[in-house]
Amino acid sequence: MDIKSVIAQMTLEEKASLLSGLDFWHTKPVERLGIPSVMVSDGPHGLRKQDDQADHLGVNESIKAVCMPTACASAASFDRDVLRQIGEAVGDACQHERVAVNLGPAVNIKRSPLCGRNFEYFSEDPYLAAELATSIVKGIQSRNIGVSVKHFAANSQENRRMSSDSIVDERTLREIYYPAFESAVKDGRAWTVMCSYNRLNGEYASQHRQLLTDLLRGEWGFDGYVVSDWGAVSDRVKGVHAGLDLEMPASGGTNDKRVVDAVRAGQLDEKDVDLAVERILTIHQRYLDNARPDTPWDMEAQHQLSRRLAAECMVLLKNEDGVLPIRSGEKIAVIGKFAREPRFQGGGSSHINCFRIESLMDALEGTEGVAYAQGYDIVTEEPDEALIAEAVEAARKADKAVIIAGLPDAFESEGYDRTHMRMPKCQVELIRRVSQANENTIVVLYNGSPVEMPWIGCAKAVIEGYLGGQAVGGATKDVLFGDVNPCGRLPESFPHQLEDNPSYLTYGGEGDVAVYSEGVFVGYRYYDRKKMDVLFPFGYGLSYTTFAYSNLRLSAQSITDQDELTVSVDVTNTGAAAGKEVVQLYVGDRESTVFRPVRELKGFEKIFLEPGETKTVTFTLGKRAFAYWNVQLHDWHVESGVFAIEIGRSSRDIALSCEVSVSSTTEIPVRFTVDSIFDDLMKSPKAMAKLAPLIDSVKRSMGFGGESEAASAAISNEMMEAMIRYMPLRTVGSFSGGAMSYDQLSALVDAINEA
């Protein structure tokens, strides 16, 4: 298709019609010009294709498909290859089912554990989220299926999600909330981006030109189309001009007519309409040119893949006395409703209609020495004494008790936020009672977000399984019995209680105003800066073996911000079992003029090591690893100084560290006025060259010469220096007894600025 030629043949009404959906899932065709309709579909960790009744919240049933580990779980893999494989599997399913665009991944930052949609998001850390999002984007699009990176931008709550206004400062947006989108666009070459429901600093994302055109296209080079979240459009005409190309779902022709009327009234340039049509058709033609509906979709093979990947994502949080893995011949009591009916995905638009679900009890079928007790129900939080008594009796007869617990569907879902971090009371009581009956109690959690663990002291071992997809039961068995050595790491901090979270005081907002008052101090950036104790830190995870780090080395001891720094470290498996280690690299500015975290993740690699084997892991750091967003420059800036290079097992467990000196090649322009204080002036060599005599005269005029005992007693030298540092230059006119006029001071400032 010669797209520009086709657009030239269209009527204005035909062009406007292409800017909204045909229904919930299809774009409109223009049959007379040979423009077909294409289908888009939900499900970033699988395919949620609906053929008949349409909805966007997962209410109506979709076709049978495969549910891979959700983002909360796959992020715990700390493994780009895991995300790539998930993407390839989803891409194959989309090709088979003639779906042009898979609506995901969702890459919003986990600002609070309460967000109802956290199970769809990767991390509290922007670098980790960016790397994993880009990997799944590349995986899906390697099959010539488009993605829709969502929800752009600053969509970190479900409360009032269609009307809330996220108030976020420029630096925080750049450092925390934009990077995952930026990487998916720049490095992943995402075909489409989905705007969010919310406002951002006063303007709906669907009509935010600075966001959708200036930043996304002008700065990041995005060449695809922007689609609205379903029902996110406020003013369609403003949206077209802002860069919102496709409105979904269908508007019944209402907004199409508004676009036409606006063009004819001179309120909207038809070139904006043409550009939107061109973007949409270009992406859809990319799919149509590479459509392969004969692509095999082996669901059973994908199920086995889902099981392998889910095991890679599980995080071993505790393992006292080496109670795990379970040994051959040990009798075990498996307890919990989730052991038979696992919770493995979240509710809402990403809910997959699985062709098969594998529970732990399914995976254990035929295994000797296994007893089962339900333990709790999910229809109520209240403990059921009969169920608990049955579980306690089973635990007493076993060598080890395995409790499968977590959060029911009702606790977390798209559409609403959690109000607390607690687990159901019935599960907490069950864990306490079972652990009293069997000291070797193991707890496995299926949940999409962190939970408080008042029972942590009762359990010998704890595994965080997150929402691991339809084969989570098989993956759980593989980890429990040591067929897979756990190698997941927490992609988010687990605070002891909700009140510890940095967003606690303002999360959810007041009315429609949600102020991101914690700024860049999200997650571990806050906890580490505060030196606050947490239940489990970011990046944490245990193994059935042990690893040692040594020989940390840098390619240079000093660099400029235009240079790359190579960091290498040796890692040795010092235990008796083969396993995978996640090597984490953090960077911290030792001394900064702006508020910065103690350390920030800037690299990670997952490596496999046999017992006794050593491998060298190498990282390459560029300018962004050392930079912060400077709001004066509106650009990334590195301050000259010393930076810590740290290799850690988590943000709280730093195994090795060294330092590098980085020199900035960018000078921040500084202009002084008569209101500038001496503290700032004294930091400038060119200012001090002209001000030194003035400072001495100010000291003398204020009687700070130490001539009398009374003066010395009243004002110390330290107090005198502090008082002068914070005085504006204009006060010289007052304290010099008229020796320097305001005009003379103004002239002096001009001379300093011109020097």
Q: What is the pLDDT of residues 319-360, one digit of tens each?
A: 999 999 999 999 999 999 999 999 999 877 778 899 999 999
Is the pLDDT reported for residue 265 higher than 70? yes
Q: Cis peptide before 342, with omega less than 30 degrees from 0?
A: no
In percent, the amount of the chain with pLDDT more than 70 equals: 95
Is the pLDDT reported for residue 605 higher than 80? yes
> Where does the chain hold its CATH 3.40.50.1700 domain(s)?
300-530
Cα–Cα nearest to 205, from 140, 152, 253: 152
Residue 741: CB atoms within 10 A of its CB come to: 12
Give me 76's structure tokens. 């715990």
- How far is the CA of 456 from the CAs of 90, 374, 463, 477, in angstroms? 37, 21, 11, 22
> Where does the chain hold its CATH 2.60.40.10 domain(s)?
547-663
Distance (Å, whole) CA 474 – CA 369: 18
Is the pLDDT reported for residue 123 higher than 60? yes
Residue 75: CB atoms within 10 A of its CB come to: 30
Going by pLDDT thresholds of 50, 70 and 90, the confidence category of residue 700 is low
Is the pLDDT reported for residue 710 higher than 90? no
Cα–Cα nearest to 173, from 192, 157, 152: 152
Going by the DSSP 8-state scheme, the letter that residue 574 receives in this structure is: -
Contact predicate 525/501, CB 8 Å:
no
DSSP 3-state percent helix, strand, coil across the chain (nearest 5): 35, 20, 45
- How far is the CA of 625 from the CAs of 29, 175, 345, 530, 589, in angstroms? 46, 11, 34, 22, 10
- Region 520-524: mean pLDDT is 97
User: pLDDT tens across 10-46, in order?
Assistant: 999 999 999 999 999 999 999 999 999 999 998 789 9
Give me 657's structure tokens. 């560290």
289's CB contacts (< 8 A; 6+ apart) are none
Contact predicate 672/681, CB 8 Å:
yes
Distance (Å, whole) CA 244 – CA 485: 46
Distance (Å, whole) CA 417 – CA 158: 6
- 722/16: higher pLDDT: 16
CATH topology of domain 300-530: Rossmann fold (3.40.50)
Pick the CATH number of 547-663 from 2.60.40.10, 3.30.2350.10, 3.90.960.10, 3.40.50.720: 2.60.40.10
Q: pLDDT value at position 648?
A: 98
Backbone φ/ψ region at 399: left (φ over 0), alpha (ψ -120 to 50), beta: alpha
Is the pLDDT reported for residue 705 higher than 60? no
Q: pLDDT value at position 715?
A: 57
Going by the DSSP 8-state scheme, the letter that residue 724 receives in this structure is: H
Cα–Cα nearest to 622, from 252, 280, 28, 127: 127
Q: pLDDT value at position 324?
A: 98
Tell me the one-letter amino acid at 235. Answer: D
How is the beta sheet containing 547-554 ordered, strand by strand?
Answer: 547-554, 565-573, 614-621
Is the pLDDT reported for residue 680 higher than 90? no
| Per-residue three-class SS string for 79-120 | CHHHHHHHHHHHHHHHHHCCCCEEECCECCCCCCCCCCCHHH
Name the residue with tokens 């069997």: 438
- Region 94-115: mean pLDDT is 96
Is the pLDDT reported for residue 256 higher than 80? yes
Q: pLDDT value at position 61?
A: 75
Q: Which of 34-48, 82-96, 204-218, 600-614 has the lowest mean pLDDT?
A: 34-48
Going by pLDDT thresholds of 50, 70 and 90, the confidence category of residue 751 is confident
Is the pLDDT reported for residue 465 higher than 80? yes
User: pLDDT tens across 424-448, in order?
Assistant: 999 999 999 999 999 999 999 999 9
Could you give the 3-state DSSP secondary structure of residue 75? Answer: helix
Could you give the 3-state DSSP secondary structure of residue 587? Answer: strand
Going by pLDDT thresholds of 50, 70 and 90, the confidence category of residue 56 is low
CATH code for the structural domain at 3-289: 3.20.20.300
- 718/507: higher pLDDT: 507
Going by pLDDT thresholds of 50, 70 and 90, the confidence category of residue 83 is very high
Going by pLDDT thresholds of 50, 70 and 90, the confidence category of residue 530 is very high
- 292/50: higher pLDDT: 292
Contact predicate 486/463, CB 8 Å:
yes
Q: pLDDT value at position 466?
A: 97
Contact predicate 91/140, CB 8 Å:
yes
- How far is the CA of 745 from the CAs of 260, 489, 686, 738, 751, in angstroms? 60, 59, 15, 11, 10
Contact predicate 196/232, CB 8 Å:
yes
Cα–Cα nearest to 120, from 404, 341, 351, 343: 351
> Where does the chain hold its CATH 3.20.20.300 domain(s)?
3-289
Going by pLDDT thresholds of 50, 70 and 90, the confidence category of residue 606 is very high
The mean predicted confidence, pLDDT, of the chain is 93
Q: Which of 148-157, 269-278, 711-720 has the lowest mean pLDDT?
A: 711-720
Using CB atoms within 10 Å of the CB of residue 341, give its burial: 0 to 12 exposed, 13 to 18 middle, 19+ buried: middle
Is the pLDDT reported for residue 221 higher than 60? yes
> Which ranges constitute the DSSP H helices of 415-549?
425-437, 472-480, 524-530
Is the pLDDT reported for residue 288 higher than 60? yes
471 φ, ψ to 5°? -105, 20
Hey, which residues does 647 pair with through a beta bridge?
585, 656
In percent, the amount of the chain with pLDDT more than 90 equals: 81
Q: pLDDT value at position 59?
A: 54
Contact predicate 92/296, CB 8 Å:
yes
Going by the DSSP 8-state scheme, the letter that residue 488 receives in this structure is: -
What would you report as the CA-atom Rg of the chain, rounded to the nearest whole angstrom?
Answer: 30
Cα–Cα nearest to 146, from 296, 351, 290: 290
Q: Cis peptide before 249, with omega less than 30 degrees from 0?
A: yes
Name the residue with tokens 């080890």: 400
Contact predicate 168/131, CB 8 Å:
no
- How far is the CA of 194 from the CAs of 246, 335, 557, 685, in angstroms? 9, 42, 43, 49
- Region 519-533: mean pLDDT is 97
DSSP string, 394-407: HHHTSSEEEEEEE-
Is the pLDDT reported for residue 681 higher than 90? no
Distance (Å, whole) CA 193 – CA 208: 14
- Residues designated as active site: 229
User: pLDDT tens across 167-204, in order?
Assistant: 999 999 999 999 999 999 999 999 999 999 999 999 99
Cα–Cα nearest to 421, from 454, 461, 391: 454
Distance (Å, whole) CA 317 – CA 650: 12
Going by pLDDT thresholds of 50, 70 and 90, the confidence category of residue 492 is very high
Distance (Å, whole) CA 590 – CA 440: 45
